[in-house]
Amino acid sequence: MSQKAEKGCRQTRTVKGRIRFLSIVLPALLIIPAAKAFHLQVLTRDMLRDRAARQSQMVVKIQPRRGAILDRNANPLAISVPVSSVYAFREQVEDKRQAAKVLAGALNTDWKVLARRLKSGKGFVWLKRKISPEEAKIVAELDIKGVGIQEESRRYYPNKGLAAPVLGFVGIDRGLEGLEYSLDEQLKGGAGERMLAKDGLGSSYVPDSRWAIEPFRGSTVKLTIDRTIQHFAEQALEAGAGAVDAAGGALVVMESATGRILAMASYPGFNPNNFQDYGSSEYRNRTVNFEYEPGSTFKIVTIAAALQDKVYDDKDIIYCGNGKFQVADAVINDQIPHGWLTLRGILRKSSNIGASRVGLQVGSERLEKYITDFGFGERMDILLPGVRSGTVRAASGWTQVDTANIAFGQGLGVTPLQMVNAVNTLATGGILLKPYLVEEITSSSGTVIMQNHPQLLHRVIDEDTARKMAGMLVSVTGQGGSGFRAAIPGYRVAGKTGTAQKFSKEEGSYSNTHFVASFAGFAPAQDPVLTAIVVIDEPAREIYGGVIAAPVWAEAISKSLKYLGVEPEINQDNNHPDQERNKAEPVIADSRQNAEPVGEQVMPDLTGLTLREALIKLAGFEHSIEVNGSGVVVSQNPSAGKPVQKFISVTLQPRIKDRRVASSQRNGTPLKKESLDFHAAGERPL
Sign of CA dihedral 565, 570, 576, 581: negative
Q: Among residues 463, 492, 466, 473, which one has the least CA distance to residue 578?
A: 492
d(Cα 406, Cα 319) in Å, to the nearest integer? 19
State the CB neighbour count (10 A cutoff) for residue 347. Answer: 29
Q: Nearest-CA neighbor of 602 among 646, 644, 648?
A: 644
**Looking at the DSSP assignment, which residues form a beta bridge with residue 264?**
252
Cβ–Cβ under 8 Å, residues 195 and 211:
yes
Helices (H), 463-549: 463-476
d(CA 150, CA 194): 11
Distance in angstroms (rounded) separating the CA atoms of residues 495 and 546: 10
What does the DSSP assignment read for 209-265? EEEEE--BPPPEEEES--HHHHHHHHHHHHHHHHHTT-SEEEEEEEETTT-BEEEEE
The alpha-carbon radius of gyration of the chain (Å, integer) is 39
The Cα 671–Cα 410 span in angstroms is: 34
DSSP conformation class of 40: I
Q: What is the identity of the amino acid at 20?
A: R
Q: Give yes or no: 2 in active site.
A: no
Burial class (CB in 10 A: 0-12, 13-18, 19+), 206: exposed
Separation between Cα atoms, residue 472 and residue 346, nearest integer Å? 9
CA distances (Å), 155 to each of 160, 226, 538, 553, in order?
A: 12, 21, 34, 33
Burial of 600 (0-12, 13-18, 19+ CB in 10 A): exposed
Query: Among the residues of 160-204, which ranges form H helices?
Result: 164-167, 178-182, 184-188
Write the Ramachandran bin of 230: left for phi over 0, alpha for psi from -120 to 50, otherwise beta.
alpha
CA dist., res. 424 & res. 412, Å (int): 20
Helix pair 400-407, 364-373: axis angle to 10 deg = 40
Residue 627's closest CA among 662, 655, 656, 590? 590
CB 265 within 8 A of CB 233: yes
* Cα–Cα distance list, 554 to 201, 253, 367 (Å): 74, 12, 31
Number of CB atoms found within 10 A of residue 427's CB: 26
CA distance 474 to 525: 7
Task: Check: CB of residue 329 under 8 Å from CB of residue 455.
Answer: no
- The backbone torsions φ and ψ at residue 82, rounded to the nearest 5 degrees and listed phi first, read -60, 140
Q: Please name the residues in contact with 670: beta carbons below 8 A apart, sequence gap of 6 or more.
A: none
Strand partners, 221: 69, 441
CA 154 to CA 173: how far, in whole Å? 9
Q: Per the residue annotation, which of 84, 85, 296, 351 is the catalytic one?
A: 296
CB 390 within 8 Å of CB 376: yes
* Enzyme catalytic residues: 296
